[in-house]
Amino acid sequence: MVFFTDASGGRLLVLELQKLLQNDDGFEPAIQVIEVGVGPWDVALNSDETLAYVAGRLGDDIHVLSTATGKILQSVGVGFSPVSLHVGADGRRLYVANAGSGRIAIIDVSGFANGARSPGGQLAVEDSIVLPSVGGLTGTADGKLIVAAMPDDDAVAIVDTEDLSIRIVLVDEAPQTAVLGPDDRTAYVPNFASETISVVDVRTAEVTGVIRLGQSGTGAVDVAVAPDAEHLYVTRWNGEVQTGPGQLEKIHLPSRETVGAIDVGSQAYDVEISPDGRYAAVSSFSGTVATIDLHLQASVVTEIGAGVMGGLTFTRVR
């Protein structure tokens, strides 16, 4: 299963990967269609996937909902334009990047479990991390660090979750997000304006390398690392022609060279790889979803019928 946010339609869609791989003619009914209000953007799941957290980019709310019933259990305002979510390692904290206010809100979600709200359970904003700008964020598996892109400052912030101290690392122009590799210390940062990927050691707060992308596209929007750490996949736009097909560029990490590119939807945005490493899914601002068999290097682009598809995530339990 794949959870997609339909930002234009105000919905969270749950779709079957295999149906998407077989369907290039248009949208088939989702298994679930959950109404989630204005401009849903990013989506994250708790560890047992009974809860989904949804960020409303065009507002200021975070919604907690039951994945079984589709019912919103509670919403809370966190600051203007939340764009990225990360669930802490212990499952108790939710980190929310608010692009409009330059803050990472830290929310206590411990009052929700097993797809329900505990008696007396309430969403509460515990604290916030103030940055000059903030984009996509991630965190280490041990829960000790949060890593956030700073798009307006050509940098990433590395935050210690214990004392909230911040280290700033300069990267290339307009970093969009940060994604950690399987070693839990190497972050890959796509820089939209410079068409590069900065490689950052989050333990030492140093740039250890730069991957230069191929010439077939423009920008670098999102990245995903294959589970075997052999390849990196990057969503890119199609040069100056925003209506043409976007691309998913494949980078061989040991050599840091481009070894392929696959057509996906125009204005490609989020990319995620299935837990088994076999498939990828790419959302786009053009209202399409691309599903890719990474072994066959074959892509199916499905028209969802929405203006903007935002964040997505694969299920691991279902």
Distance from C-alpha of 52 to C-alpha of 6, rounded to nearest angstrom: 15
31-76 pLDDT per residue, tens? 889 999 888 999 999 999 999 999 998 878 999 999 999 999 999 9
Residue 241 confidence (pLDDT) above 60: no
Closest CA to 243 of 283, 207, 285, 298: 285
121-136 pLDDT per residue, tens? 888 889 999 999 999 9
Q: What is the 3-state secondary structure (H, E, C) of 73-132?
A: EEEEECCCCEEEEEECCCCCEEEEEECCCCEEEEEECCCEECCEECCCCCCEEEEEEECC
Phi, psi torsion values for 175, nearest 5 degrees: -65, 140
242 versus 201: the higher-pLDDT residue is 201
The pLDDT mean for the chain works out to: 91
Contact 261, 248 (CB under 8 A): yes
| 302, β-bridge pairs | 289
192-216 pLDDT per residue, tens? 999 999 999 999 999 999 999 987 7
| Structural domains of the chain, with CATH | 1-35+213-318 (2.130.10.10)
User: Residue 17 in 3-state DSSP?
Assistant: helix
Q: How confident is the model at residue 188 (pLDDT cuts 50, 70, 90)?
A: very high
104 versus 305: the higher-pLDDT residue is 104
Number of other CB atoms surrounding residue 307 within 10 Å? 12
pTM over 0.85: yes
pLDDT for residue 286 = 86
Distance from C-alpha of 183 to C-alpha of 161, rounded to nearest angstrom: 19
Query: What element of type H or E holds 18?
Result: helix 17-21
